[in-house]
Structure 1
Amino acid sequence: MTNDLVLLGTKGGPAIRQGGAMPTCSLLRLDGKSILVDCGIGVSRSVVEAGVSLLDLDAIFITHLHSDHVVELGPLIYTAWTTGLNKPLTVYGPEGSEDYWRHFLKAMAFDHAIRIDDEGRPEIAGMIRFETLNEGFETALDGVAVRALRVDHPPVTECYALRFEGGGQSVVFSADTCYFPPLARFAAGADVLVHEAMLTAGVEKLVARTASAGRLREHLLASHTPAADVGRIASDAMVGQLVLNHLVPADDPDFGEADWKDEVSRTWNGPLVVGRDGLRIPLGGQGGDGSRG
């Protein structure tokens, strides 16, 4: 049985640039379950390229409703349906996730109706179930236990870190958050902590090349975690391995893996992986093997 984590997209923010990383989404395979965390643009193809059919996804988790985490939720589910989805699928997300889905289906009403009539497909609406994340949320996916923690990502108030435990492994996703000390308690003793990270030295350049974003600088500094503070969370939680994800900036040639490691090493001296798209991280082993799927 494969227990691993595949970083499908590792970029913070919704913009896509030629040759750059894709927005954040991750595939967790744990105790026989294939779990998708967030649905940034490009996720449908990335899941398939990781070797997992869209039909084999067991659950989808959306940490919050910023576009780089939810924009392809509808297209992914719909593509699974056109591929042959014939079993229920549960989406776990903050309040508003189901509204997104209803509006997406309304936009696809013509295609949905004609495929049912012309191709004999089942109605999709009854196949997709939503559960709302909230503070203290807990659930179980057969052998995989899941918990949620509301983190601090202003101005978004409904944003949730997630902890998955199963197959003898525990994996925590920070979601998007500023430096949030309670996250260390939530992640305590986890085998892997996947945490967003920001290089403050790269913020000015990122803001300068982003059109029509007059207050972007203020948002980034208030809502995301400097790399050194990520190390503090990992150290306080005493996790087995730290994985940097949702990198800000992710596609600036002036900043590379060495810069991330230099910042984090000031506060963390354990195993460290700087995320990149397609990186597969075996669970129960040491570090990422660099393979795709």
Structure 2
Amino acid sequence: MQMGLAAGAASVFPQSLLAQDKAAAASDSGARLVLLGTKGGPRVGGSRSNPANALVVDDAVYVIDTGMGVSAQFVKAGLDFRKLRAIFISHMHSDHELELGNFVYNSWVTNSFTKPVDVYGPVGIEDMVRDYWALNRIDIETRIADEGRVDPRPLLHGHDMAFEKRQVMQDDKVTVSALPTPHKPLQNFAYRFDTPYGSVVYSGDTSFYPPLADFAKGADILVHEVLYEPGVDALTKRARGGEAFRAHIMNAHSTTGQVGQIAAMAGVKTLVLSHFVPGDMDWITDDMWREGAARHFQGEIIAGHDLQEIPLS
């Protein structure tokens, strides 16, 4: 098992270090949103990776959700593990948190994880952090003793958050706020990031929820999950799901038209569609995703793609 881990790291992360050096040489001024994974749901495969995002503010990186594939996407985007400051998890569905531990581990094996990193999310995050280290105790303690690595366990700080509107954290780059939104049966947080360069709001997973528009009022960018209703039957059939599965999809997400309404009510500059449901059916075009939202929102609408970068004005 240890040889497999080492081989996997060797095949991916020398390239990551080159990407980090390239990133370090670039300008550290400004802010941009990087869409690391734009497909909703836990299914892997197809042209999109699972949900993950990065907000880069000057020389600091903040990751929002850690679906399967986030480590590889982070590397492909040329982002620098050494600049990671905090991680924010919207809710405890696997497509949003499955690679949390592995993402931090993959930073550690490049000798990039040497400073504290905070991870915020619903109740359960603290257990997840603790259990991940327990699951990988043998590998981690072997590498500490055999390779002289720092102990990563005291550096990752999990923070369970009560399900209420709140300010999450503030540092010299960003102020982060959270808003509970409906995604039954789980608790979901939308996050707002206010930076010197503008504001970004990330919806997480949510059904139509007008208070989200108030939360996003005046933001430069609203990143909102989106459901294409004509694709639900095809998704249900492929997933071998029954009526309960279909009902969850319909009741726990926002249609294209509803997303457009939220963006219009909020008065945001740019609406970014992401967490596409279904997210890997090629017959659904970008124009089809945008069409429903455009009936209500007259601003810029971006149908997001993996590794797309969107600057803050």
Task: Flag whether TM exceeds 0.5 (same fold).
Answer: yes
Give, as a single letter, the amino acid of the residue that structure 1 aligns with 2:70. Answer: V
Q: Where do residues 73-84 of structure 1 align in structure 2 (5 Å cutoff)?
A: 73-84=100-111
Q: Secondary structure at the match of 1:22?
A: coil
Give, as a single letter, the amino acid of the residue that structure 2 aligns with 1:12. Answer: G
- Quick one: which of 66, 76, 100 aligns to 2:128? 100
After TM superposition, give the deviation of residue 53 of structure 1 in Å: 2.0
Structure 1 contact 31–144 (Cα < 8 Å) conserved: no
- Distance in 2 (CA, whole Å) between partners of 1:2 and 1:79 is 26
Q: Does residue 26 of structure 1 match 2:40?
A: no
Q: 1:125-181 CA deviation, whole Å, 9 max, x = no partner? A: 11111223331321202231110000000010x210000001230000011000011
Number of matched residues? 282
- Quick one: which of 56, 64, 68 aligns to 1:37? 64
User: What is the CA RMSD across the aligned residues, in angstroms?
Assistant: 1.2
Runs of 4+ in 1 over 4 A off after TM superposition: none
- Distance in 1 (CA, whole Å) between partners of 2:241 and 2:261 is 34
Q: Does residue 205 of structure 1 match 2:234?
A: yes
Residue aligning to 1:255: 284
Q: Where do residues 274-293 of structure 1 align in structure 2 (5 Å cutoff)?
A: 274-284=303-313
Structure 2 contact 203–224 (Cα < 8 Å) conserved: yes
Residue aligning to 1:5: 33
- Quick one: which of 88, 100, 103 aligns to 2:116? 88
Structure 1 contact 31–167 (Cα < 8 Å) conserved: no
Q: Where do residues 90-169 of structure 1 align in structure 2 (5 Å cutoff)?
A: 90-134=118-162, 135-138=164-167, 139-156=169-186, 158-169=187-198
Residue aligning to 1:291: none
- Distance in 1 (CA, whole Å) between partners of 2:176 and 2:267 is 20
Q: Does residue 64 of structure 1 match 2:91?
A: yes
Give, as a single letter, the amino acid of the residue that structure 2 aligns with 1:224. Answer: H
- Identical-residue share of aligned pairs (%): 40
Bigger shift: residues 131-140 or 232-241: 131-140
After TM superposition, give the deviation of residue 107 of structure 1 in Å: 1.2
- Distance in 1 (CA, whole Å) between partners of 2:101 and 2:242 is 26
Q: Secondary structure at the match of 1:206?
A: helix
Residue aligning to 2:12: none
Structure 1 contact 192–242 (Cα < 8 Å) conserved: yes
Structure 2 unaligned residues grouped into runs of 5+:
1-28
Name the structure with the higher helix share: 2
After TM superposition, give the deviation of residue 196 of structure 1 in Å: 0.4
- Distance in 1 (CA, whole Å) between partners of 2:133 and 2:140 is 8
Give, as a single letter, the amino acid of the residue that structure 1 aligns with 2:183. Answer: H
Q: Secondary structure at the match of 1:38?
A: strand
Give, as a single letter, the amino acid of the residue that structure 1 aligns with 2:159. Answer: E
